[in-house]
Amino acid sequence: EPEVNYKNSNFYDLDSLIDNQAFLEQCYICQKIEGYCIKCFEPQCKQMLHAECARRSDLYMDEISEQPN
């Protein structure tokens, strides 16, 4: 069985990256409260949705890269 080790285990603390509240949100598109929902990336929009529901509805998110100072 493969084994994965990390030099800095604090850097890969995945539990701290997951917002457990997102599992309790209702999807704006399918209206279900199941699975992981993400917030719309428009700053003024507060809607939560499943990534797959967004994809099926032909919604998309632009990746914004920050320019180094």
CB 50 within 8 Å of CB 61:
no
Average pLDDT over residues 29-41: 92
Q: What pLDDT shows up at residue 43?
A: 86
Rounded to an integer, what distance in angstroms lies between the CA atom of residue 39 and that of residue 61?
11
Q: Is the pTM higher than 0.85?
A: no
Residue 66 in this model has a pLDDT that exceeds 80: no
